[in-house]
Amino acid sequence: MVTGEERERLREVALGAGACAAGFADPYLPPAVDRDYAAWIAAGNNATMRWLSEHQPLRADPATVLPGVRTVISLAFPYLPAERRDPSLPYLPLYAYGRDYHKALRSLLRPFCSFIEGEYGVRTRVCVDSAPVHERAFALRAGIGRRGLNGCVITPRHGSFVFLAEVFTTLQVEPDDLSFGECLQCGRCVRACPAGALNGDGTMDAARCINYLTIEHPYPLTPAQEKLLHDTNTLVGCDRCQTVCPLNRDALTTGIPDFQPRREVLTATTLTRAITPGSPLRRALK
């Protein structure tokens, strides 16, 4: 088992890859994680996102992600841009100002995985929304942040403006301590949600969320949904539950080049294919 200074050296390599937090967790989560997730699905909170319900048995067994897995390394990468869109423009989410994070994080983590594989002769697999993984649960188990009432993982320096990624590995690393607690429980995020999508217990009703309505919703919007987007001046996405959080007040901006804002995104008034190549906004094009 990797422990002590050797474990800290692994963490330093992860941070050197651009992560703002990195922690190690046992791959087998407590049964309550799967029970709570199943209850959330049973209540219909996943809306039409069937892939969230179709792979529950896989989520429960990390060996389906990587046979022989012994450690999950949870990492957070900051994305908060230093430059923002003019507030009079239709809203675009802060996470989408730069390059598609799926591709960017895989590129950033490739040297880290190569280091682990070469140093220890083990296997790794990177997960960035690409496998049925309880990524927030692993982040909390690895101690890299605290859970907000909006479900986001809030890290010490960059708040919740982070992308989460996991490296599953057959290398056994001594686990970190669990998350250092809950958020402030002030409820500002719950009250700020214009659609009332937050359940107040760290979960949400996706069918009511503006992010879901503008990105994942497969049907024409109802008049009430159209009015919601009009009244909130929304083009795509929503960050209100994050921007009102006191723990995000002093969040540091990202230094990762891939997540710096693109000029065309900063000025766009409509969503077109011309501004979405290589961007996570591509998914929102219907």
Active site residues: 129
Helices (H), ranges, 96-255: 101-120, 135-141, 188-192, 210-215, 223-231, 240-243
The candidate with the shortest Cα–Cα distance to 264, out of 59, 97, 63, is 97
The candidate with the shortest Cα–Cα distance to 137, out of 153, 148, 126, 124, is 153
**Residue bearing tokens 């996570």:** 280
Burial, 52: exposed, middle or buried (Cβ in 10 Å; 0-12, 13-18, 19+)? middle
Q: Contact at 8 Å (CB) between 87 and 174?
A: no
134/34 Cα distance (integer angstroms): 9
